[in-house]
A and B are shown apart, each in its own frame.
Chain A
Amino acid sequence: MAWSDATDSELVRQFQRGDALAFDALVRRYQDRIFRLASLWLYDASRADDAAQEVFLRAYQSLPRFRFRAQPFTWLYRTARLVCFEMNRQRKHDPLPAEGLETSVPGNAGEHEIALAEVRTLIAELPERQREVIVLRLFEDCSVKETAAAMGCREGTVKALLYKARAALQGKWDA
């Protein structure tokens, strides 16, 4: 089976039938996205790979009982949010603090680390919900419907939050 052509639901159903390769395909499909999101949400961005591993480990344990009430990516996204929340709480900080995000970049950082740090700096002053919308809609290129499902809100709310976020970032970033 060509995993690249299969939908997320088909991959999960194959995994539920015992096909471990389907799970590998699912991981390869979303590992970059989950890693990037974790890099933005975690107070300590260096732990983003740990967070991504934890997200997919929970998927490995829970997807056999997945009932398809939501899309698999919605489940992965919310699990990533929960994992980052738990990891941030271990450091006794707010999940997405408006201030205090580590935006400084180490001297030997690569281009990817610099890009992530710039995005973190850009969204650091936004409220939590507006940050989510900006990241999902603009940076991750999710549709309005996908963003609403991931955030657990209506599509109108997504549009309103995006409008407010763009207004807040006006002057700092014109996208």
Chain B
Amino acid sequence: MTNTPTTATADPLIRRYREVQAPASVLAGIQQRAQASERRKTWPRLGSAVALGTLVVAGLVATELYRARMAAPTLPTLAQIARQLPTDPDVAMPALGSLRLPERPTLPTKPIQNPSPVTEPGDDAPKTEGADGITAVPSANSQEKKV
């Protein structure tokens, strides 16, 4: 396909229309804008290089910080402590009595009220009155609870 229509026409309007040409500024403008477009492409490349370099440096710094943190002394774990204990049976283990255990808090004792005396079977059992007035005889197996 060519730029100018090839079919001849008798119509004057169509002929005059087809004679219209783009001004010379169009091609010159295209070339200038194409060159400017090429120049703009280099700047994103530089920006990408700077961004990539920044990421690399940040990665190196983070790696060094991590290594420094890992090298710092930390508390040993229980497994590490267990491994350090002597396994030789000839080595005396620390006596348990030497261990100082924390004192256990003593629980308060509740005073016993009205302790019942210990009685032999057949003795006059102390009579205790129940709530309904009937005298209740304690059983022969009842004993005073020792405190």
Contact = CB atoms under 8 A, between A and B. Distances in A.
B13 A173 contact: yes
A50 to B, nearest CB: 8
A42 interface: no
Given A31-B22, A35-B21, A53 B29 contact: yes
Contact of A56 (B6, B19, B30): B30
Nearest to A56: B30
B45 to A, nearest CB: 16
A139 B17 contact: yes
Interface string B1-19: 1111111010101101111
Interface of A: 8, 24, 27-36, 39, 49, 52-53, 56-57, 60-61, 73, 111-112, 114-116, 118-119, 122, 138-142, 146, 173, 175
A116 B19 CA distance: 10
A35 B5 contact: no
Nearest to A34: B22
B25 interface: yes
B72 to A, nearest CB: 54
A164 to B, nearest CB: 19
- What 5 A-B pairs have minimum CB-CB distances, sorted nearest first? A141-B5, A35-B22, A115-B16, A112-B20, A53-B29
Size category, B interface: 20 to 34
Contacts of B6: 141
B49 interface: no
A175 B4 contact: no
B3 A29 contact: yes
Contacts of B14: 138-139, 175
B115 to A, nearest CB: 106
| Main SS at interface, chain A | helix
Given A28-B27, A30-B3, A114-B16, 15 more contacts: A28-B3, A31-B3, A32-B22, A39-B20, A49-B26, A60-B30, A73-B1, A112-B19, A115-B19, A139-B18, A140-B18, A146-B1, A173-B13, A175-B9, A175-B14
A16 to B, nearest CB: 15
B4 A32 contact: yes
Contact of B26 (A35, A61, A116, A122): A35
B94 interface: no
Given A28-B3, A28-B27, A61-B37, A52 B22 contact: yes
Contacts of B7: 141
B20 to A, nearest CB: 4
10 contacts: A27-B27, A31-B3, A31-B22, A32-B3, A32-B4, A32-B20, A36-B20, A49-B25, A60-B37, A140-B18
